[in-house]
Amino acid sequence: MISCDKCSGRAVIFQKYSGKHLCAQHFEEDVHRKVKEVLRAYRIFGKPCRIAVAVSGGKDSSSLLMILHNLFSYRDDVELLAISIDEGIEGYRTKTIQAAEAVAKQLGIEHVVEKLEDNFGVTTDLMASQGHAQGPCSFCGVLRKGLLNKTARELSADAVATGHNLDDEAQTVMLNYLKGDVDRLYRLRPKRALAGMVPRIKPLRRVPEKEMGIYAITHNIPIDTSACPYISRAMRQEVKDLLNEIEAKHPGTKYSIMKGFDKILAREPPGSYEVIPCNRCGEPSSDGICASCRLLDRVRAEQSL
């Protein structure tokens, strides 16, 4: 048996980047410490606040709900609620939403489910069946993000917490570097409270993906591990494999990527991002037509060809 470096308990993980073996209790403390440090930097606590957690039913978002519950359930000034967006993907989303429902119920947290179909009159299955050039993910992602923001705002949330972990974030940063997409890189920075937009927070951005899996297992969190049938992330998968290979040889590389990225963001001149209401639906936009309306226009135009 390999022992924890902090007590005599059985180690459940070896963190190559820290050189430590940790038992279940010290591992949990380590995850909670990282999440608390990230949350402190967002500066949203200190006054009563309502956090909407975007829960898909997978290991990251369901663990996030439990972590925030573990950290805040004793506080009267922090309220949690869970939101799931149902994109309309037959045989997949129904199962993952059931898993999200189970974890919210177990923790006694209100769970709200909103459907793309009820809000936009389309489903991801429908868009996929129409064979648009860009593939279902481009539509699904934009509409889901918009609906998540709208739902959180209507439920008076002060912030939306998403389950992006360290690996997701490091991959996204590297992908945008590789594509030379500086605009997208800047869009990753924490959002201020702009008109109609609920600030987004990523409490897990310092927790490696593998550790989120271990957290879910060690806490018996009901999760669904099925993958979306439309997933197509060829380049992201290549970047993921590459980063995992480099991390194995040089532990701590993913943390270094994020540290470097945060330093770049800190140098950005302030005030370069303005938000105005969409002329059609009133949702936030940068130029008078929001991303969801622009996208639905394209879907309708392609349908009429």
Q: Which residues bind to ligand SF4, rule: CB under 6 A?
A: 87, 124, 136-137, 140-141, 228, 230-231
> Least distance (Å) from ligand SF4 to the CB of residue 140?
3
Q: Among residues 137 and 275, whose Cβ is nearest to ligand SF4?
A: 137
The encoded tokens of residue 176 equal 């945008």
The residue among 182, 192, 214, 276 whose CA lies nearest residue 59 is 214
Neighbours of 150 (CB within 10 A): 19
Return the number of the residue (13 or 55) whose C-beta is nearest ligand SF4.
Answer: 55
Under 8 Å between Cβ of 50 and 90: no
Task: Name which of 50 and 145 has its Cβ closer to ligand SF4.
Answer: 145
137 vs 246, which CB is nearer to ligand SF4?
A: 137
State in angstroms the smallest separation of the CB of 175 from ligand SF4: 15
Nearer to ligand SF4, 44 or 148 (CB): 148
Choose between 97 and 170: whose C-beta lies nearer to ligand SF4. Answer: 97
| Residue 142 and residue 183 in contact, taking contact as beta carbons nearer than 8 Å | no
Question: Largest Cα–Cα distance of the chain, in whole Å?
Answer: 69
CB atoms under 10 Å from CB of 131, counted, come to 9
Assess contact for 159 and 49: CB atoms under 8 A. yes
Which tokens is 113 given?
């489910």
Q: Which residues contact 276 (CB under 8 A, 6 or more apart)?
A: 195, 284, 285, 286, 287, 288
- Return the number of the residue (92 or 261) whose C-beta is nearest ligand SF4: 92
Q: CA 281 to CA 141: how far, in whole Å?
A: 18
The least distance separating ligand SF4 from the CB of residue 150, rounded to whole angstroms, comes to 17
Shortest spacing between CB 93 and ligand SF4, in angstroms: 7
CB of 130 to ligand SF4, least distance (A): 13
Closer residue to ligand SF4 in complex, CB, 268/302: 302
CB of 230 to ligand SF4, least distance (A): 4
- Nearest approach in angstroms of CB 125 to ligand SF4 is 9
- Residue 35 or 160: the one with the smaller Cβ distance to ligand SF4 is 160
Q: In whole angstroms, how close is the CB of 137 to ligand SF4 at the nearest point?
A: 3
The DSSP result for 208-262, as a single string, is -HHHHHHHHHHTT--------TT---HHHHHHHHHHHHHHHHSTTHHHHHHHHHH
Q: Where are the alpha helices (DSSP H) in the chain?
A: 24-42, 59-72, 93-107, 116-120, 124-129, 136-154, 166-179, 182-187, 209-218, 234-249, 253-266, 291-304
Closest CA to 61 of 184, 255, 201: 201
| Closest approach of ligand SF4 to the CB of residue 224, in Å | 13
Scored b (16 or more CB within 10 A) or e, 33-64 reads ebbeebbeeeebbeeebebbbbbbbbbbbbbb
